[in-house]
Amino acid sequence: MSSSADECSTFLARIASRLGDAATSKSSVIKSSGAVDRTSLTTISAVQAVTALREGDITSEEYASALLERLEALHHLNAFISVDKNYVLEKAQAADKCRAAGAKLGLMHGLPVAVKDSINTKDLPTTAGTSSLRNFRPKEDAPVVASLFRQGAILLGKTNLHELSYGWTSNNGAFGSVRNPYDLSRIAGGSSGGTAAAVAARIVSSGLAEDTCGSIRVPAALCGIAGFRPTTGRYPAQGISPISPLFDTPGSHARSVADLLLYDTVITGDAMLPPFPSLEGIRLGVSPEHFLAGLDPEVERVFNEAVERLRAAGAVFVWADIPNITALLNATTFPIQSYDAMPNIERYLRESGSELSAEQVYAAVISPRVKYDIDVFFRPGGKYYASTGAYNAAVFTHRPALQTTLARYFTEHNITALVHPPTLCSASKIGEEVDVEINGKKLPLRIPYARNISAASSAGIPALVLPAGMTAAGLPVGIEFDAPALMDRSLLALGITLEQILGSIPAPACEVDCA
């Protein structure tokens, strides 16, 4: 998109006019004396920050310094793999000089952002969370992150993740486990756990993540933030450690949907702001047989209470099961990921300038569960490795049938979005890598964390996760809204309305006391 000052200012002004002063207000960070309240700086949204930076109410150096201090105070969350403090401050100082000189400012002028460490950056290593790539420097930035940098964003650091993105916990054997800001003994979710934890803990306003099979949405739900997975192909996926091009997509984490909309605008160049609808008469679908079965009682309670808030605001809930959804997902999701993973890692390494082969990377994996999954799911000859026949059936028969079934569901029931809990339970304990107990029954970990998010991943449709509430134990619970393919901007616009009705959840304990 054009980076002219007028267009950028107009876009931000339109958000402010739609949302009111709360969207762009900086009053909470500016004391009456005119001095900047550095503690409050870490709590503002990306939209608030870029508005303040563009108008000169704060400097990029002040803002970046406050975030770096916060990052250091919360280093025990293990949210980041690499940070170069001097680099961040130099970039911030350069941004301030540009503004002082009257240069054109991008839509993300002076904004520090977190980037998942599976997304290529030339200024910091890209490890994909695995030890063999610890010092790997890609030859160029991934296109999705380059689009942010062109609009003035600053790389705050590369965030921790599940090793190779092969899992939902971010319990990383090579770089340590990411800890949930709401309970340090629990997982942040995966695979993009570091970005989610950093955003939830107010280390950074927002960041880039990546979602193959829930890697944005699971951490968003477990850490109590907003997460957006776009229609597959809407954002460029080149230069990102892959699993399958049919599923892989970068996306964003933030604490407000307005910030997700900002990222979508910068990445796609679409500056048109869709209307933010009232919920009156909006039809939301619920498919209980697949998506609501076997929920943890607290997740079920929070989900039902969220449904009632939306119903009270005028939403119409349509309870209708999606025909054959479970069988279609079983025939689609894992065969494609199993068959695609190794050759696509090989291609990524070659294109990014690494001298390692996929087999060398696999051989050096440290996380025990990832090693097991590689051996049984992703290496040819593994016990559960998909055959060529199963893969072809998944790609050419079952996935198209899934996409057609979902498209028909939206159309026949006149549904704007499919609604469900993204996970069956809240954050489990760190170290629980095989089974999770729900209602006294042990389930394979992939069921509570992958069952519900698989539909959007496998069909390639946009999905938005928002905080729905808290369990009695003080853990966040998310709610997911899946929309038809290519309805990304409409879903984000609806999300603005949804988050206002659902309300906010308390900040994590580290926000109150970092000691």
Q: Which residues have a catalytic role annotated?
A: 116, 191, 215
Query: Shortest CA distance to 164 belongs to which of 214, 128, 216, 115?
Result: 128
Question: What DSSP element (H or E) covers 98?
Answer: helix 85-100
- Say if residues 85 and 65 touch (Cβ distance below 8 Å): no
d(CA 372, CA 447): 17
Largest CA distance in the chain: 70
- Say if residues 157 and 178 touch (Cβ distance below 8 Å): no
Cβ neighbours of residue 121 closer than 8 Å, sequence gap 6 or more: 115, 138, 141, 142, 145, 155, 158
End-to-end CA gap in the chain: 43
Chain-centre distance for alpha carbon 108: 18
Position 356, amino acid: L
Query: Shortest CA distance to 247 belongs to which of 71, 461, 426, 465?
Result: 461
**Length reported for the chain:** 515
Q: How far is CA 214 from CA 97, 169, 488, in A?
A: 40, 11, 17
Torsion sign, CA atoms 424, 430, 436, 440: negative
Position 46, amino acid: A
d(CA 247, CA 252): 16
- Say if residues 158 and 145 touch (Cβ distance below 8 Å): no
Query: Shortest CA distance to 448 belongs to which of 471, 468, 477, 419?
Result: 477
d(CA 416, CA 314): 14
Question: What DSSP element (H or E) covers 91?
Answer: helix 85-100
- Say if residues 165 and 361 touch (Cβ distance below 8 Å): no
- Say if residues 260 and 46 touch (Cβ distance below 8 Å): no
What percent helix, strand, coil does the chain show, rounded to 5?
Answer: 45, 15, 40
Exposure pattern of 262-278 as b/e (b: 16+ CB <10 Å)? bbbbbbbeeeebbebee
Question: Can you list the alpha helix ranges (DSSP code H) found in 313-377?
Answer: 325-352, 358-363, 368-373
Question: Can you list the alpha helix ranges (DSSP code H) found in 364-421?
Answer: 368-373, 388-393, 399-412
